[in-house]
Amino acid sequence: MSTPAVFIDRDGTLIIEREYLSDPSLVKLERNALSGVSLLAALKIPLVVVTNQSGIGRGYFKRADAEAVNRRVAELYRIKGVEFGGWYVCPHSPNDGCDCRKPKIGMAQVAKGDLDIDLARSVVIGDNRSDVEFAVNMGGRGVLVLTGHGKKHEDWALSAGYAVCADLFEAAKLVACWLSDARCGLRE
């Protein structure tokens, strides 16, 4: 039977936002992200990283550079006992017209096949409007975090009725509540 998953954006959500990050030595965890991911890992469902990396498509860095950054992020979480179930990267620029760049759901569809995920029962956590729209487009629920670029999208998310949380830890508490089918308060 398919399982729900939590899709998590990388830059500005798991790690501190650095425009076009290609150097693993610059990776730093976002505030409260480790606590949030640890709480999500306790749910025993796949944690899936989905990240637009247009710097590859723009020629700013190579795919190998993005993969090195992803390995560093995974290592920092693994040291604390957290493993991600999958990593999905869109390497295209916004003008490429691909099907994988969030808010399109190509990465979610591949993850669905790889990990037997029920997209409609899944949640996306990210710091961008495209992350929330990605959730909506795949039929799941989205949470905007106010780390990274999140504050730029807060008014939009609130006016559209989407969940907004201070950081990944607050978002993880909300997601845990949603997945338990409990009444979760005003930010549902």
Q: Would the pLDDT of 186 be above 50?
A: no
Q: Kindly compute the dihedral angle of the four CA atoms of residues 145, 90, 14, 35, in this order, to the nearest 10 degrees.
A: 90
How far apart (Å, rounded) are the C-alpha atoms in residues 40 and 74? 15
**Token digits of residue 80:** 């604390």
Mean pLDDT of 17-23: 97
Active site residue 9: yes
Query: Is the CATH number 3.40.50.1000 carried by domain 6-119?
Result: yes
* pLDDT per position as a tens digit, 62-120: 999 999 999 999 999 999 999 999 999 999 999 999 999 999 999 999 999 999 999 99
Contact residues for 139 (Cβ-Cβ < 8 A; gap 6+):
119, 120
pLDDT at position 182, please?
64
- CA separation, residue 169 to residues 57, 130, 173, 175 (Å): 32, 20, 6, 10
Q: 118 an active-site residue?
A: no
Model pTM score: 0.95
Alpha helices in 84-138 (DSSP H): 106-115, 129-138
Give residue 1's pLDDT: 81
Dist. CA 187–CA 165, nearest whole Å: 8
